[in-house]
Structure 1
């Protein structure tokens, strides 16, 4: 009787073991199971002062603190940059005063030179008109003199024969002398006007040359403007640097790591905080290549995290990396020498969580995943 009872117990154990083994094998056929599971995030930023360096005068957050996008996390002493800003401001102001003075001087000189040029041109036109008038008068006198000389010669011949009164001849000779005297005066006046014309032409030419010389003043003003523009850009850059002395959170999240403390001197690019986002968490699975069969994009997955064994998270396969994880190792294996030990490679698989309390998860946590195979 005792032997029969013992046999029944053995048979029950064999049946239970067989059922459990069958279910375990069936589960392994239907699911890819691995414990190479890590909680990751799309947003993990090591934030630093990008272009500024100096002594940290204030740090506002500790590890684990929640932060909002744009919130100030730390500050560097901006004194050096403020001194540079004040120096640039004073230099810009000085150059601006100089530019304004030169512009007023240029305007005054241009006005004077333009007036001088107009006066010279007007004087030149007056001289030219007077020359034209004198030239015309000389022609008229020459014509009248020529006619009068003929008449005088003719009257002299007639006077010798007592055919005309002597008094008439004397009047004509007197008129001829007057015309010759007037011509000499007009000729002298004309010569003087021609000299004046040359002088006026030189004055016009000089006035034009003086106006052209203002180009040097214009170049100087243009050069100062360029310097002011360059300094303004430098000033704008310094203003941006002063803004950058305040380190701000790039997105909503939590402080994962605090690298520095108040009073430390940091260089640009040196990490001060690490900020992680709670909203972009996903599961990174390093799945053995032998378990990839039937795993597709969209395959359903169930995740258990070691820290919360009673919590079951659901998700879907979002991405299957086309390259094995070993290819990204710092020292990848070199099989070209002929030395080779076959090792099952692991393929990174990204799983997006669709159900579960993700606020409990922390980046770096590990666990186990079961991925439903598609037939």
Structure 2
């Protein structure tokens, strides 16, 4: 009887073991199982001051703190940048008042100069035409006087010989006197005209010189405007730098690491905080190439995290990397010489969590995954 009971127990144990073994083998055939599982986040950033440097005067967050996009995380002393801003604002004001004064001066003289130059040129033209007319008249008078003198000398000889009337000689002498008087008048007017021409020429030159000064004024105003525009750009840049003395959170998340403390001096690009988004958490699986068969995008996955052994997360395969993890190593294996040890390569597989409390997860946690194979 005892033998029968013992035999029955052994038989039952064999059956149970066989069933368990069958189910274990079946489960291994239906699922790709690995413990190369890590919690990752789409958004994990080392935050630093981009363009400013200086002493940190305030650190607003500690490790583990929740932050919202736009929250101030840290502040650098902005005093040096504010001094630069005040200097630039002062320069802009000085140039503005200088420009205003030049514009007022320009307004006073610019409207009249062109008219003044036109009037002076017209007057000069009239004077030159008058000089030309008087010179022509003087030439005609001189020709007539020369002719009369010759005629008078000839008529005197004829009158002495009673060959010509004395009245005609007197008439010619009278005309000569009138022409001499007229010549003196023309010469006098001509001298006055020349003096007037010299004065008018000076006026023209003065007007032209004033117009050149106006052009110089306009150039100076234009130069001041260019300087003001350049300073305004510098002002805007300094204002942006002052804003950048406050380190802002670029997205919602948690402070994963605090690299600096208050009072430390930092340079641009030096990490101050590490920020991770807990809303963009996913599971990164390094799956052996021998287990990749049957794994597709959309395959169901079940994840257990070591920190929470009683929690089971459900997910789906979202992405299968086209290259092995070894290809992204800092020092890739050199197999060109044919000397290497063959090992199963691991392919990164990204799993999106669709069920489970993601607020419990922290980037860097590890665990185990089972991925349902597709037939």
Range of TM-score over shorter length = 0.7 to 0.9
Q: 2:295 maps to which residue?
A: 295
Q: 1:19 maps to which residue?
A: 19
Q: 1:37 maps to which residue?
A: 37
Q: 2:183 maps to which residue?
A: 183
1:211 lines up with 2:211 in the alignment: yes
Q: 1:323 maps to which residue?
A: 323
Q: 2:310 maps to which residue?
A: 310
Q: Structure 1 stretch 48-57 or stretch 219-228: which is displaced more?
A: 219-228
Distance across 1 between alignment mates of 2:231 and 2:136? 67
Shift of 1:101: 2.8
Shift of 1:46: 1.2
Distance across 2 between alignment mates of 1:190 and 1:63? 102
Q: 1:117 maps to which residue?
A: 117
Distance across 2 between alignment mates of 1:259 and 1:126? 88
Structure 1: stretches of 5+ with no match in the other structure: none
Shift of 1:122: 3.9
Q: 2:131 maps to which residue?
A: 131
Q: 1:284 maps to which residue?
A: 284
- Correspondence list, 1:69-80, <5 A: 69-80=69-80
Q: 2:220 maps to which residue?
A: 220
Q: Structure 1 stretch 157-166 or stretch 176-185: which is displaced more?
A: 157-166
Deviations 1:303-324 (CA, angstroms, capped at 9, x unpaired): 1222222322222111111111
- Correspondence list, 1:159-170, <5 A: 170=170
- Correspondence list, 1:192-207, <5 A: 192-194=192-194, 196-197=196-197, 200-201=200-201, 203-207=203-207
Distance across 2 between alignment mates of 1:137 and 1:337? 115
Give RMSD over aligned pairs.
3.1
Distance across 1 between alignment mates of 2:151 and 2:171? 11
Deviations 1:161-220 (CA, angstroms, capped at 9, x unpaired): 999985576345313420232034214423552464355345424532442354444433
Shift of 1:59: 1.8
Describe the SS at the equivalent of 1:61: coil
Q: Structure 1 stretch 310-319 or stretch 16-25: which is displaced more?
A: 310-319
Q: 1:241 maps to which residue?
A: 241
Shift of 1:247: 1.1
Shift of 1:328: 1.9
Shift of 1:150: 11
Distance across 1 between alignment mates of 2:188 and 2:75? 91
Shift of 1:271: 1.5
Shift of 1:38: 0.9
Distance across 2 between alignment mates of 1:104 and 1:185? 49
Q: Structure 1 stretch 326-335 or stretch 83-92: which is displaced more?
A: 326-335
Q: 1:361 maps to which residue?
A: 361
Q: Structure 1 stretch 122-131 or stretch 132-141: which is displaced more?
A: 132-141
Deviations 1:144-171 (CA, angstroms, capped at 9, x unpaired): 8799899989998998899998557634
Distance across 1 between alignment mates of 2:212 and 2:204? 12
Deviations 1:13-64 (CA, angstroms, capped at 9, x unpaired): 1111111111111111111111111111101111111111222222222222
Shift of 1:130: 2.8
Q: Structure 1 stretch 256-265 or stretch 364-373: which is displaced more?
A: 256-265
Shift of 1:292: 0.6
Distance across 1 between alignment mates of 2:149 and 2:260? 120
Structure 2: stretches of 5+ with no match in the other structure: none
Distance across 2 between alignment mates of 1:179 and 1:50? 98
Shift of 1:70: 0.5
Describe the SS at the equivalent of 2:311: strand
